[in-house]
Amino acid sequence: AGALQIVTNKPDLSISSIQFPEENFLGEEIPVKVAVLNSGLRDSSSFNIALYINYLPEAIPIPEESIIQFTGSSPGKIFAGEKRVVSLPQNSSAEIEFSVDSSLLFPGEYFFEAVVDSSFSVEEQNENNNLIQENLLLSASSDYPDLVIISLDFLPSVEQGESIPVSAKIKNNGLENVSDSFIVSVYDSEGKVLASKIVYGLESGEEKTVSFSVSSSEFSGQTEFSVS
């Protein structure tokens, strides 16, 4: 027994790579290079290459008013641009350049998705190899504050009904001060807010320990805490 591959006299377009800088900061233009290959037995006619930015809406809450500024976009999938390639000879490749404006995005994890022949104008030998994704980590600009949680501490065991002392150490890793107040909250494993405190600003490089008292009356057995 064995697999049989039928080779046809058609072009076969695919994306071989997506390249961009290792470090990317919010607000900057991100240069993206997409390499496309025609490994088929025939030259291709003209086609489009589309670039998207994918993300999890529940992890990165980009406002709808920002999303609609990217034409053809929806929550979770932002259309970043499309380029036209006039033709691509057989057994040859081309590099297409994009420039992505990150100013309307939020810091977080994204995926660049490149799609060749995005308008399905070329009949190919293989239509299932026209898309690849690459992970993109977008960091807060060095000109911004950057609040991070350094540690979360609480007693490993208490009697039900006792108060649980919880402390979270936060730090501003950015180069700018946080002048406005912000809220730090403790959550249970289901995302319910158990306690909150207001922090009245945090200077660049400053650390602060925020203390909470959480009632254990609603818990039994093992539970998990998180803070943000």
Domain boundary among 139, 167, 194: 139
DSSP per residue, 82-102: EEEE--B-TTEEEEEEEEEE-
Domain boundary among 87, 105, 139: 139
Number of folded domains that form the chain? 2
Residues 17 and 100 occupy one common structural domain: yes
The residue among 16 and 72 whose pLDDT is bigger is: 16
Domain that holds residue 92: 13-139
Instruction: Out of 5-19, 95-109, 195-209, pick the least confident.
Output: 5-19
Q: Is residue 48 part of a domain?
A: yes
Question: Among 142, 80, 140, 85, which residue's Cα sits nearest to residue 111?
Answer: 80
Residues 32 and 88 occupy one common structural domain: yes
Residue 27 falls in which region: left (phi positive, over 0), alpha (psi -120 to 50) or beta: left
pLDDT at 50 over 60: yes
Q: Is residue 39 part of a domain?
A: yes
Range 199-226 burial, b when 16+ CB lie within 10 A, else e = eeebeeeeebebebebeeeebeeeeebe
- Take residue 74 and report the two structure tokens written for it: 């929806």
Residues 161 and 185 occupy one common structural domain: yes
Mind listing the pLDDT tens digit for each residue in 73-110? Answer: 888 999 999 999 999 999 999 999 999 998 888 889 99
Quote the pTM value.
Answer: 0.61
Q: Is residue 2 part of a domain?
A: no
Q: Is residue 6 part of a domain?
A: no
Please report, for the domain that includes residue 111, its CATH number: 2.60.40.10
State in Å, rounded, how far the first CA of the chain is from the last one.
57
pLDDT at 7 over 70: no
d(CA 168, CA 194) in angstroms, rounded, equals: 14
- Go through the chain and tell me how many residues it has: 228
Residues 130 and 19 occupy one common structural domain: yes
Provide the pLDDT for residue 71.
Answer: 78
Mind listing the pLDDT tens digit for each residue in 127-178? Answer: 999 999 999 999 877 667 888 888 888 888 888 888 889 999 999 877 788 9
Domain boundary among 106, 139, 172: 139
Residues 127 and 172 occupy one common structural domain: no
